[in-house]
Amino acid sequence: MDDDTLIQAAIAVRERAYAPYSNFRVGSALVTPDGQLFVGCNVENASYGLAICAERAAICAAVAAGHQQFAAVAVASSGGVSPCGACRQVLMEFGDMSVILVDVDQEHAVRRHALSELLPHGFSL
């Protein structure tokens, strides 16, 4: 799968975000080494601390479908933000992967990082 397909999936699922409290929508798309795609969006709650980030929603969807290896994750947001620390740790559970940050405000400008660059010295047992 090319990066553009992954990026477009993250942008599309961001439209489904449930973010009435922050109004900050995030979409995430994961691709497996053989090209299967899984998406997630942030889902907020009136009890604010229960918000689920887009990246973790995508991981849960992929793992529930039987996948535990990922080549890349795209994250689409206003400003092209980086995954929060908790999501970096959850993504790293499944190994290093490319992280593609998509800024929906800047004509979908992208920045690319290795997850291991975003989370040096992550926790492992």
Task: Give the active site residues.
Answer: 55
The answer to whether 59 touches 35, Cβ cutoff 8 Å, is no
Instruction: Please select the residue that binds ligand THU; options are 11, 37, 44, 92, rule is CB under 6 A.
Output: 44
The answer to whether 30 touches 7, Cβ cutoff 8 Å, is no
Instruction: Please select the residue that binds ligand THU; options are 13, 29, 38, 42, rule is CB under 6 A.
Output: 42
The answer to whether 81 touches 27, Cβ cutoff 8 Å, is no
The bridge status of strand 72-77 relative to strand 98-103 is parallel
Q: Does 6 bind ligand THU (CB under 6 A)?
A: no
Site string for ligand THU, 61-100 (x = CB under 6 A): ----------------------xx--x-------------
Q: Quote the distance between the C-alpha of residue 99 and its chain's center.
A: 8
| Residues at the site binding ligand THU, with contacts judged by CB under 6 A | 19, 22, 24, 26, 42, 44, 51, 53-55, 83-84, 87
